Amino acid sequence: MGLSHDPFLFLSGQIIRTEGDVNTKILLEEKDMPRQWYNIQADLKTPLPPPLNPTTGQPAGPGDLSFFPMSLLEQEMSTERWIDIPEPVLEKLLIWRPTPLYRAFRLERFLSTPAHIYFKNEGVSPAGSHKPNTAMAQAYYNKMAGVKRLTTETGAGQWGCALAFAGNQFGLEVKVYMVRVSYNQKPYRKVLMETWGASCVPSPSPDTKTGRDFLGRNPEHPGSLGIAISEAVEDALASPDTKYSLGSVLNHVLMHQTVVGLEAQQQMAKAGEYPDVVVGCVGGGSNFAGLTFPFVRDKMNGKDVKVVACEPVSCPTLTKGPYVYDFGDTAGKTPLMAMYSLGHAFMPAPIHAGGLRYHGMAPLVSRLLGDGLIEARAYTQSQTFAAGLTFARTEGYVPAPETNHAIACVIEEARKAKEEGRETVILMNWSGHGLIDLGAYDAFLSGKLEDVVLGDDELGRLMKDLEKFPKP
C-alpha cells in the first residue's frame, strides 16, 4: 500500500485541533451502556443451517454440545432480537465500559483526506481488547450453572487473558491452551494470564491425547487454533465440573460483543454523523460482529452503509474459502458448522496476528457475506504493520497486529475518498492494543517480517477432506 514509515515528517510543527463541534473523544456515561444484547438471528431472512452431528448427519442436540452450559446453548439457538444482560455481568462490564469513540484527526491530516475517521477504542479494557465483553458473560453463566473450572484455547493470547480476567472476577479456575507459535512470540501473555490466576500451556501440549498425537508427529509443532480448540474440548469433556469456553465464532459470543456497536451508534449520533463505511478485522468474527451487527441491521432496514471484514492473505477464509460444513476444530471433536472454511486440517503460517489464524469463520458472519450484506478483503503482514506504524505515529496508540488489518482498510478507504473528493465517514473497531506484541513490531522495523500467501493448490488439497460432509 506504500504507507509511509515516518509520519513525524508530516506532523512536525503542526498543531492538531478539533474541528467544529466534534471532540476528539466522544464519551458516554455509565447509564448509557446497553442493557441488552442485539441478536442478529432475529433479522435473518432464513434461519442458519443447524450444526450437525458428524456421525449421523442430523442436527446437533444439547448432548453434542455438552461442553457448554445450557444457558449459553439457549442463547446460541435463540431468535429473540434483544436479550437482557444480567445485572452481575453489567456490574463487571462497568469496570471499563462504555468505551470511548475517537475522531482520528491526526491520521486524517496525515493522509490529507476529506474522510472523517472514527475508531472505537476497545483496548481500554483491563485485558487490552474487546474479548472481556463475552468472557464476563460466559464466566457468569458457567458460575450460575455450578461449573468450577473452564478450559479454552487462545491464539495471540487476547482471549486467554480475557477469560483469565473474567474467571478471576467470578471465582472460576481457568486453563488456557495457547497456540505454540504465539506462546513463544508473546511470553508476557502467559504472565498476564497467570497474574489473574489462570494456567497457560503451549498447544499442542502433552496434557491431552490430541496434543500428544500432534507432538508425536512433530515435537516442534507450531500449533493452530483448531488444535488448541481440540485440546480444550477434550479437557472439558474429561471432567464433570469443567466446561469449555470459546472466544469467537459461536452465535452467543458474537451477540455478547454487540455492546460495542450499540455504544458506537449512540456515539456517532452524538458526533452528528453516520458511517458510510464500517470496518473490522476478522478471524473468527467476534470483534467484527460486535461493532458491525447493529449497523448491518440498519442496512437491512434501508441504510446505505458498506461493511468490510479484513483478514490476512495467509489465512483468507472469507476471500478464498468455500461455504461448507466443517469441523470447528482440527481433531474433529466439535459438531459440523456451516461456514466459510479453509478446511479443518489447515495449518496457518506463523504470522504475528495470531487471533486471525483460524481456518473457519463464524456461521453468522458467513451468512452475511453470502447474503451480500458485508464484503471481505485480505492484506499482507507488511501492509498491515505499515498501517499500524502510521496509526501509532499519528494517533499515538500502538495497535495489536490483528487490529492493523482494519487500519490498513481504513487507510485504503480514506485514500479512495481523497481520490474521489468525497467526505466519507469511516468507523473502525480498534479491537486491542499491541503493547505485548512489540516483538512483531521489532521484526517489521528490522525488515524480518515475511509475507505468506495461501496458494490455490494447497486450498484444493484441503477441500478434498470436506467432500464427505453434507453441503449447507
The tens digit of pLDDT for each residue in 119-133 reads 999 999 999 999 999
pTM exceeds 0.85: yes
Query: What element of type H or E holds 116?
Result: strand 116-121
* Residue 235: strand, helix, or coil: helix
- One-letter amino acid at 466 equals L
Q: Mean pLDDT over residues 200-216, rounded?
A: 96
Q: Is residue 180 part of a domain?
A: no
Position 62 scores a pLDDT of 84
Residue 15 has pLDDT above 50, yes or no: no
Which range marks the domain in which residue 406 is found?
8-34+89-128+258-464
For the record, the C-alpha cell of 203 comes out as: 498447544
Q: Is residue 333 part of a domain?
A: yes
Position 348 scores a pLDDT of 75
Q: Is residue 17 part of a domain?
A: yes
How high is the mean pLDDT of the chain? 92
Cα angle 184, 186, 188 (rounded to 5 degrees) comes to 115
| Torsional sign, CA 459, 361, 247, 159 | positive
Query: How far, in Å, CA of 138 to CA of 253, rounded?
Result: 8
Residue 95 has pLDDT above 70, yes or no: yes
Residue 39 has pLDDT above 60, yes or no: yes
Residue 322 has pLDDT above 50, yes or no: yes
61 with 52: CB under 8 angstroms?
Answer: no
pLDDT in tens, 455-470: 888 888 888 888 888 8
Q: Mean pLDDT over residues 390-402, rounded?
A: 97
Q: Mean pLDDT over residues 337-341, rounded?
A: 95
Q: Is residue 212 part of a domain?
A: no
Q: Is residue 213 part of a domain?
A: no
pLDDT band at 277 (very low <50, low <70, confident <90, very high): very high
Phi and psi torsions of 306, nearest 5° = -95, 130
For the record, the C-alpha cell of 362 comes out as: 463464524
Q: Is residue 326 part of a domain?
A: yes
Position 354 scores a pLDDT of 58
Residue 13 vs residue 304, higher pLDDT: 304
Considering its fold, how many domains does the chain have in total? Answer: 1
Q: Is residue 59 part of a domain?
A: no
What are the DSSP E strand ranges found in 127-244?
149-154, 173-179, 199-203, 242-244
Q: Mean pLDDT over residues 18-36, rounded?
A: 86
Position 460 scores a pLDDT of 87
Q: Is residue 247 part of a domain?
A: no
Q: Mean pLDDT over residues 438-444, rounded?
A: 92
Residue 266 has pLDDT above 90, yes or no: yes
Burial class (CB in 10 A: 0-12, 13-18, 19+), 32: middle
Position 345 scores a pLDDT of 87
Query: How far, in Å, CA of 432 to CA of 220, rounded?
Result: 29
CATH of the domain at 263: 3.40.50.1100
Q: Mean pLDDT over residues 395-419, rounded?
A: 97
Residue 95 vs residue 12, higher pLDDT: 95
Burial class (CB in 10 A: 0-12, 13-18, 19+), 269: exposed
Q: Which of 29, 192, 24 is nearest to 99 (CA)?
A: 29
